Amino acid sequence: MKKTERYFFPAVFTYEPDQEIAVEFPDLDCTTSGVNDDDALLSARELLGCVLYGLEEDGKEIPAPSALSAIKTKQNECAVLIDVYMPSIQQARINRSVNRTVTLPA
């Protein structure tokens, strides 16, 4: 089975006065937040990559994303299409640091 290299999922950004921007992925039932638009967008992309990587690694089916036009928003919300390039996520997981304690004979 060939893995998809790039995914696009809609996210809903919710703006409340004096609070972080909440970001929800309705198709994946996960949320994150950010202190401003840039931070929220980066957090959303990172979360999307982690969730999809986990689904791939567990052999679970990745749900089909909803169309951006199908997302209903309230007055303080905005729908945004978030993309993630999976080879960079997979490479980051391969290159992560691992600490090992080793005892060597004298």
Read off the pLDDT of residues 56-82 as tens digits, 9 standing for 90 and up: 889 899 999 999 999 999 999 999 999
> What's the pLDDT score for residue 1?
47
Tell whether pTM > 0.95. Answer: no
> What's the pLDDT score for residue 90?
74
Residues of the chain with confidence (pLDDT) below 50: 1
**What is d(CA 77, CA 88) in angstroms, rounded to the nearest whole number?**
30
Contacts of 4 (CB under 8 A, 6+ apart): 62, 86
CATH of the domain spanning 6-87: 3.30.160.250
> What's the pLDDT score for residue 4?
79
Residue spans of the domains in the chain: they are: 6-87
> What's the pLDDT score for residue 106?
67
